[in-house]
Amino acid sequence: MRLTIVGQLKGQLTAATRIAMNRGAAVTHAESVDQAMRTLRAGRGADLIMVDVALDVRDLMTQLEAERFHVPVVACGVDNDASAAVAAIRAGAKEYIPLPPDPELIAAVLAAVSDDNRDFVFRDPAMVAVVQLATQIAASSASVLIAGESGSGKEMLARHVHQKSPRAGKAFVSVNCAAIPEQLLESELFGHEKGAFTGASARRIGKFEEASGGTLLLDEISEMDIRLQAKLLRALQERVIDRVGGAKPVPVDIRVIATSNRNLADEVRKGTFREDLLYRLNVVTLKIPPLRERPTDVAALATHFAKKYAAANGLPLRPISAEARVSLMRSRFPGNVRELENTIHRAVLLATGPEIGAEAILSPDGAPAPGRETGLAARALETAESVTRSFVGRTVADMERELIIDTLGHTQGNRTHAANILGISIRTLRNKLNQYDDEGFAIPPPQGGVAAA
């Protein structure tokens, strides 16, 4: 991960830098807020900023917001400076780290930024097949299109491709095309020169240059204006970009991964997405199934989130009860993994017994979560589940014999009718019945005692 430390590197802050580097962080140093902003504008991106509370933390937060740098900030300072710590948190810092630095605390903060919400948990065969394909193509530099519903794990899969690629040691830069206003997205992607437009008070390097050598994720690319798509197509084809207001092309070395929760072929037919850009992007397409089609993942993710949020909230780890698991498996989860995560977070907070019970599986408004059927629907589902459980331990031959004999009883011994229902030939049916008769099983006779043809 990329860490920017802002402040004078004296004694304790130097120790914090050394600890972070020993934990694998790539550290950039800036002595002042203005220098830190110049570093960010120059394309030396950061995943975390650690700032000395002796500096103006509020000014840093204001400038980050004004220039759309979405980077978490933690403040640090001598442990007896309580007022400065409070002021930093009120200004927008996520955490306060007392100095001298505790190596484990520094490690925990780095881990929280680099790993939080990035544990790639999957067990279902449908998802395993997608991840195997992603791993297989990761070593190439081919563009990848990841399709799937919102919240299904598209960014997680994109990070997996990056981590399994030769670019893993370089930057992974993500741009949410849906979250940035149309008039600002071009500058965000390609950068701009000083004076290129009103408010462009300094040169800024865009995400393409920031990600050079690594991977650029264009999240929800279907939301990009079609006029900007033409400039993106040129960047992908020629591996050069033009800064807004720039005089000459700038070469870039990146791999592009794009995600979409829409069918881009449909968007092409509507005229909202360029067909040539689609062909350029989807050298390989990875389609993530929705969570409702990955039942094994529901159980695995629920257990993972239960552990995560029990630890985060200082609560005892409670197993998820069998009844609660059934409730989760019945849900359609239109919000996919994101919705499941919120559901389990809520359940961890609401559970009171030794287990997380079904009564804790609730919607945000406190109502039973969708999928928790009641009355006739619930009894019908329970009956179907009990019938299915009764099959466990039986051989296919046993099940086939029971099906044939039961069907024959239903047709009152009419072999031709039974064979038609079963989808087999009358000869096959007769051979099966002769086998069962030799084995001592009772065969329903035809009505009237004569075998119907």
**How would you classify the pairing of strands 250-251 and 240-241?**
antiparallel
Write out the E strands in 19-171.
26-30, 48-52, 73-78, 95-99, 144-147
Mean pLDDT of 93-102: 82
pLDDT, tens digit (0-9, with 9 covering 90-100), for 255-305: 999 999 999 999 999 999 999 999 999 899 999 999 999 999 999 999 999
Better-predicted residue by pLDDT, 176 or 413:
176
**Bridge partners of 147?**
260, 287
DSSP of 229-273? HHHHHHHHHHSEE--BT-SS-EE---EEEEEESS-HHHHHHHTSS
pLDDT, tens digit (0-9, with 9 covering 90-100), for 382-406: 554 555 555 666 787 888 888 898 8
pLDDT, tens digit (0-9, with 9 covering 90-100), for 204-248: 889 999 999 999 999 999 999 999 999 999 999 999 999 988 888
**In the block, which residue shows the tokens 């394909």?**
133
Better-predicted residue by pLDDT, 434 or 2:
434
Residue 292, SS3 per DSSP: helix
- What's CA 251's distance to the chain center, in Å? 31
Structure confidence at residue 388 (pLDDT): 53
Structure confidence at residue 160 (pLDDT): 94
Structural tokens at position 429: 């049916």
C-beta of residue 219 within 8 angstroms of C-beta of residue 154: yes
Distance between CA 246 and CA 240 in Å, rounded?
12
Residue 7, SS3 per DSSP: coil
Band of pLDDT at residue 370, cut at 50, 70 and 90 = low
Structure confidence at residue 381 (pLDDT): 47
Domains, the chain, ordered by start = 2-115 (3.40.50.2300), 125-287 (3.40.50.300), 291-389 (1.10.8.60), 393-453 (1.10.10.60)
DSSP of 407-435? HHHHTTT-HHHHHHHHTS-HHHHHHHHHH
Mean pLDDT of 182-201: 86
